[in-house]
């Protein structure tokens, strides 16, 4: 195919049997996957029998649009009558929602089951803790949630986790887990991990597996290095009949072990599929020679990897700038000044990113950007997790679920939002089926609320999602309440109106609700907003910018050392190095690195030494940046 290099063409042509594509950063892997899909259709494969799975909504959307553009531009394609079908391009979680909805009754769920976000899960964990006689204020609910999430990703159940428990903490977690699952079952809800766990359980059933394995005969999995055990099992089950599985990944970009991703999946692919074809993509189309030389030198120190060396025909480019500052505030000002200078010289703000290892680093950077009048967008505050947005979605979901148990949690959330004079005690009686005991006046209020839900349900049956959102906002009274409120309420009103704009992108309510439940940090990126992006390195995966600032390159921060630990394990050390490699390879034109001598962490000042990663880079590739003049700190005393 025109425009493909020799390595890419081999990958596109290898359409039968297991295929492993080791794709380096910026090597055009999305281009390879989409052209491979086109090639399959050219060969007569039905579009509907092709499945492509990736990890983020943004990546799935980009891949879907590219596939559709390729098919639309293929004038010589002998289109079958079923050409209205399209390849199924999805994230793992959206695929799970699709399969679970089609088989909801097997799991005892409705099609409009509730998908817990992180806040919902924390609420349910707190409830489970109180049921177990624990005070959520004295014990961290997040620690239970994280342990349960990791265990689910490994394919464990509460029973198997309890059997393998090595102490009181694990036994207690198993107890909380059982109660947590019971709460979700009562609310007809699944959390993000369950979307994968329940999908795998369904596919373990021969009749369900046969249906999907025979429907999707050609399976593509992007970012295979980031799959956990459950995702691995889902892929294995779907490919069980055809064995036409093409996985694309890079061991050097495995950075999610903390949420269950296991590098072993990609390392052992040839053992799982001995007949596999292996192709390595080493030509980088993104970065300069200088950036790649630095990245290659850094990652070469790792042992757990499939060896490759990125190369490019791009120019050598500018040297990497390294700036040493006195404090984190000085570092932030230096970054803001450099960003301001780039913007003033013609670089679009959206082509600049500031990456950091930990979220707390954003505070100083934000303050500096505000003072220097540098436009920025901070990733991490998710639109769909705002209370007012969740309230509107709860109205719609409660209306669609009617009298089903799945509606209970949503009804409890919105029955008195905005206030209708219906208190918690009344809600408890309604949910307990004791509504007849309520006073006549309260019964009338409840009847009015139920009438509102019925009118939203009727609207949903007759109109598009955007119309339903507008209707729910108005008829619920939320619009009027926010309009009559303060400045913060005005912002909330703008947010729920923006929800209608988001809904306008969808033709059916199920797709809209699924997107709302599965939105990620990258979905918050506003492509048409010209602002510098501030984000963690983890959030930057899959993105690219002309200029990338990597802040806080200090020992114990990047590479990161957990508080109270002697130091990272060899596996953790390698993952930190992969994380730095990912940060470097986000840049097209130039990398700007910085570190501070003194940084305030958890309220205390500490003296830091430069990150070991800096020493991995050839000094000939680096130029010293002008340090920001120290301010705000007169002296620091070190007690030896």
Q: Is 253 a catalytic residue?
A: yes
Q: Is 8 a catalytic residue?
A: no
Rounded Cα distance, 141 and 125, in Å: 6
Q: Which residue out of 7, 191, 193, 223 is catalytically annotated?
A: 223
What does residue 407 show for φ and ψ, rounded to 5 degrees? -80, -15
Of 310, 313, 356, 308, nearest in space to 331 by CA = 356
Of 5, 37, 38, 33, nearest in space to 21 by CA = 33
Neighbours of 6 (CB within 10 A): 7
3-state SS, 444-491, equals HHHHHHHHHHHHHHHHHHHCCHHHHHHHHHHHCCHHHHHHCCCHHHHH
Q: Which residue out of 36, 533, 586, 590 is catalytically annotated?
A: 586
Q: Is 29 a catalytic residue?
A: yes
Q: Is 328 a catalytic residue?
A: no
In the β-sheet with 245-249, what is the strand arrangement from edge to edge?
88-91, 50-54, 218-221, 245-249, 19-23, 277-281
- Burial of 267 from C-beta contacts in 10 A (0-12 / 13-18 / 19+): middle
Half-sphere exposure (Cβ direction) of 127: Cα atoms closer than 13 Å = 15
Q: Is 157 a catalytic residue?
A: no
> Which structure tokens are listed for 141?
């609910």
Q: Which residue out of 8, 173, 251, 253 is catalytically annotated?
A: 253
Rounded Cα distance, 62 and 72, in Å: 15
Q: Is 578 a catalytic residue?
A: no
The answer to whether 509 and 467 have CB atoms below 8 angstroms apart is no
Q: Which residue out of 187, 191, 222, 391 is catalytically annotated?
A: 222
Q: Which residue out of 7, 8, 29, 198 is catalytically annotated?
A: 29
Q: Which residue out of 8, 30, 188, 327 is catalytically annotated?
A: 30
Q: Which residue is associated with the tokens 């950007």?
A: 369
Of 552, 547, 582, nearest in space to 365 by CA = 552
State the catalytic residues. 29-30, 222-223, 253, 586
């Amino acid at each position: 195919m025109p425009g493909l290099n020799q390595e890419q063409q081999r990958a596109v042509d290898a359409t039968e049997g297991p295929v492993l594509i080791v794709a380096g950063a910026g090597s055009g892997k999305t281009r390879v996957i989409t052209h491979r899909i086109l090639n399959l259709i050219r060969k007569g494969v039905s579009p509907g029998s092709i499945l492509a799975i990736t990890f983020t909504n943004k990546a799935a959307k980009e891949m879907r649009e590219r596939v559709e553009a390729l098919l639309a531009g293929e004038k010589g394609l002998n289109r079958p009558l079923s050409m209205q079908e399209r390849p199924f391009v999805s994230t793992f979680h959206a695929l799970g929602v699709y399969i679970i909805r089609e088989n909801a009754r097997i799991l005892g769920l409705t099609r409009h089951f509730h998908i817990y976000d992180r806040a919902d899960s924390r609420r349910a964990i707190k409830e489970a803790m109180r049921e177990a006689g624990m005070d959520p204020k004295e014990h961290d609910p997040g620690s239970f949630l994280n342990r349960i999430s990791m265990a689910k990703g490994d394919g464990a159940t509460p029973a198997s986790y309890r059997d393998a428990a090595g102490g009181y903490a694990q036994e207690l977690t198993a107890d909380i887990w059982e109660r947590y699952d019971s709460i979700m079952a009562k609310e007809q809800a699944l959390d993000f991990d369950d979307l994968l766990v329940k999908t795998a359980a369904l596919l373990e059933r021969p009749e369900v597996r046969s249906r999907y394995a025979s429907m999707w005969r050609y399976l593509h999995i992007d970012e295979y290095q980031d799959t956990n055990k459950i995702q691995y099992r889902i892929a294995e089950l779907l490919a069980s009949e055809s064995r036409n599985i093409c996985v694309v990944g890079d061991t050097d970009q495995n950075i999610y072990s903390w949420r269950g991703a296991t590098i072993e999946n990609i390392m052992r692919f040839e053992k799982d599929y001995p007949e596999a074809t292996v192709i390595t993509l080493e030509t980088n189309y993104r970065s300069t020679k200088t950036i790649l030389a630095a990245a290659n030198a850094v990652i070469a120190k790792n042992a757990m990897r499939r060896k490759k060396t990125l190369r490019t025909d791009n120019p050598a480019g500018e040297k990497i700038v390294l700036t040493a500052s006195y404090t984190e505030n000085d570092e932030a000002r230096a970054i803001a000044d450099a960003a301001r200078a780039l913007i003033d010289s013609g670089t679009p703000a959206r082509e600049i990113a500031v990456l950091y290892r930990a979220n707390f680093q954003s505070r100083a950077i934000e303050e500096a950007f505000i003072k220097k009048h540098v436009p920025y967008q901070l990733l991490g505050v998710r639109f769909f997790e705002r209370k007012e947005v969740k309230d509107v979605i709860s109205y719609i979901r409660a209306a669609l679920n009617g009298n089903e148990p799945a509606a209970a949690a949503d009804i409890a959330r919105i029955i008195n939002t905005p206030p209708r004079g219906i208190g918690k005690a009344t809600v408890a009686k309604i949910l307990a089926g004791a509504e007849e005991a309520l006073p006549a006046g309260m019964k009338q209020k409840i009847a009015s609320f139920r009438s509102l839900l019925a009118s939203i349900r009727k609207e949903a049956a007759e109109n598009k999602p955007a119309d339903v959102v507008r209707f729910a906002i108005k008829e619920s009274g939320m619009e009027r309440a926010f309009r009559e409120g303060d400045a913060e309420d005005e912002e909330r009103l703008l947010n729920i109106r923006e929800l209608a704009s988001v809904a306008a992108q969808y033709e059916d309510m199920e797709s809209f609700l699924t997107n709302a439940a599965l939105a990620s940090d990258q979905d918050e990126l506003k492509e048409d907003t010209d602002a510098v992006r501030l984000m963690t390195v983890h959030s930057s995966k899959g993105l690219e910018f002309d200029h990338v600032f990597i802040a806080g390159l200090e020992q114990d921060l990047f590479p990161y050392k957990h508080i109270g630990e002697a130091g990272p394990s060899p596996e953790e050390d390698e993952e930190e190095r992969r994380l730095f490699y990912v940060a470097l390879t986000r840049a097209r034109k130039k990398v700007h690195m910085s570190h501070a001598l003194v940084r305030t962490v958890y309220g205390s000042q500490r003296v830091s030494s430069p990150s070991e990663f800096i020493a991995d880079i050839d000094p000939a590739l680096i130029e010293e940046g002008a340090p920001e003049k120290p301010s705000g700190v007169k002296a620091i005393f070190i007690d030896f």
